[in-house]
């Protein structure tokens, strides 16, 4: 379901903060404020400038040599991935030879020196702010004249989620442990990535127990809309009195959202385009609804289970394995999940990354085999499963 890059990188970055992995901070020359650069320039001597140019040449030579080595490595990663995909399409067995078994080179040369002379810095357009819950609710009201029905309390949402998850085939262990990993074991149904554990700023649109992005919500409405409509229609049919009318309105809104989500090709990129608009934000508001939200959270995981079965993998997925599919996308995740343990011990995590994402992820670098990455995921699940929110969710089952 998720993009093989965005979700994996965001979640591993969050995991790095949780386990205290070191964060590499690089200060480039153009990061200096103009006043500082001007002051440095005023005091820069010819000797300082000559020394800077000498160090810059050393840096550029070292970096060029590294980029050549790294480029060859990541080209091999890409070719091996294409080979594996082709073999799977042809029903052939994937073997250890279909992976790169060496770890990628990491740059260890000199840092880029700070220029003592002022430099022109290009004007960068301001970043668009990441929408938050208030934006999703406003969009839903403006575009669909709809306000999600929020639960009376957290337990009500957890119980609704537990009922639907169990009825759909998820286990308590899968649901609770994935929740523990995704939210740290304390997240609420409306928790947004970044605005948790003391955070003040959203780092993505991911919301809820299984941290759905706006694109996930659009994609689930497009691909699972028929099931969502069926389940909510059943609830409407059993309702009576004052409770029926708002449910009928909710069903009508859900049908419109599903139709809009289905109006574009069923690809992540097309759903992402909608997810980045007010219409996508409005659809994302359904994650907060006590009737539809638990279904969306469930299907976020259930689609991975169904995908694995469709590919002939019938053994129950452990929570850590399911999380790998949740994070990396079903195809990439299943690549890891179907590996025998002996292969997991040998295959580097770099096989499942693009270069830029890998080099920014201290967790993937430190836990640099499939076995180690699954182990640290299990470790965090173990730890966070003892937190109050996780215990409350377990009790809801």
pLDDT tens string 167-217: 999 999 999 999 999 999 999 999 999 887 777 889 999 999 999 999 999
Please name the residues in contact with 370: beta carbons below 8 A apart, sequence gap of 6 or more: 336, 339, 343, 344, 345, 347, 348, 349
Average pLDDT, the chain: 88
pTM to 2 decimal places: 0.81
**87 within a domain of the structure (yes/no):** no
Total structural domains within the chain:
1
Distance between CA 288 and CA 207 in Å, rounded?
9
Distance between CA 229 and CA 225 in Å, rounded?
6
**124 within a domain of the structure (yes/no):** no
Distance between CA 222 and CA 208 in Å, rounded?
20
Please name the residues in contact with 110: beta carbons below 8 A apart, sequence gap of 6 or more: 55, 58, 59, 62
**65 within a domain of the structure (yes/no):** no
**332 within a domain of the structure (yes/no):** yes
Phi, psi of 192 (to 5 degrees): -115, 140
Enclosing domain of residue 233: 6-17+131-396
**298 within a domain of the structure (yes/no):** yes
The better pLDDT of the pair 46, 295 is held by 295
Q: Residue 353 carries which DSSP code?
A: S
**384 within a domain of the structure (yes/no):** yes
**73 within a domain of the structure (yes/no):** no
Identify the pLDDT of residue 12. 56
Please name the residues in contact with 334: beta carbons below 8 A apart, sequence gap of 6 or more: 307, 308, 311, 313, 325
pLDDT (mean) for 25-37: 40
CA pseudo-torsion sign 326, 328, 333, 339: negative
**88 within a domain of the structure (yes/no):** no
What SS3 state is found at 30? Answer: helix
Distance between CA 115 and CA 109 in Å, rounded?
18
Q: Is 203 exposed, middle or buried (0-12, 13-18, 19+ CB in 10 A)?
A: middle
């Amino acid at each position: 379901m998720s993009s093989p890059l965005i979700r994996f990188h965001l979640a591993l970055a969050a995991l790095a903060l949780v386990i205290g992995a070191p964060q590499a901070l690089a200060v480039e020359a153009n990061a200096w404020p103009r006043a500082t650069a001007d002051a440095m320039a005023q005091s820069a001597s010819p000797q300082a400038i000559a020394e800077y140019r000498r160090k810059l040449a050393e840096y550029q030579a070292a970096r060029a040599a590294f980029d050549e080595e790294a480029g060859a490595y990541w080209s091999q990663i890409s070719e091996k991935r294409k080979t594996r995909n082709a073999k799977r399409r042809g029903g052939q067995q994937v073997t250890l030879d279909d992976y790169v078994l060496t770890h990628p080179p990491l740059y260890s040369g000199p840092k880029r020196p700070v220029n003592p002379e002022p430099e022109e810095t290009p004007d960068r357009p301001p970043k668009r702010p990441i929408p938050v819950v208030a934006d999703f609710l406003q969009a839903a009201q403006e575009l669909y004249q709809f306000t999600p029905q929020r639960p009376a309390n957290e337990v009500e949402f957890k119980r609704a989620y537990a009922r639907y998850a169990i009825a759909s085939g998820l286990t308590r262990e899968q649901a609770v442990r994935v929740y523990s990993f995704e939210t740290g074991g304390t997240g609420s149904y409306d928790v947004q990535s970044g605005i948790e554990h003391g955070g003040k700023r959203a780092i993505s649109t991911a919301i809820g127990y299984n941290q759905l992005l706006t694109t996930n919500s659009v994609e689930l409405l497009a691909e699972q809309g028929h099931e969502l409509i069926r389940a909510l229609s059943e609830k409407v049919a059993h309702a009576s009195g004052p409770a029926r009318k708002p449910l009928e309105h909710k069903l009508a809104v859900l049908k419109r959202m599903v139709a809009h989500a289905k109006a574009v090709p069923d690809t992540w990129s097309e759903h992402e385009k909608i997810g980045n608009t007010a219409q996508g934000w409005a659809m994302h508001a359904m994650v907060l609804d006590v009737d539809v939200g638990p279904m969306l959270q469930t299907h976020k995981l259930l689609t991975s289970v169904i995908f694995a079965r469709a590919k002939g993998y019938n053994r129950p997925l452990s929570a850590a394995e399911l999380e790998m599919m949740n994070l990396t996308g079903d195809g990439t995740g299943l690549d890891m999940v179907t590996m025998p343990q002996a292969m997991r011990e040998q295959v580097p995590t770099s096989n499942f990354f693009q270069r830029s994402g890998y080099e920014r992820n201290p967790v993937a670098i430190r836990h640099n085999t499939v076995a180690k990455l699954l182990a640290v995921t299990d470790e965090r699940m173990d730890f966070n499963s003892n937190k109050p929110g996780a215990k409350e969710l377990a009790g809801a089952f």
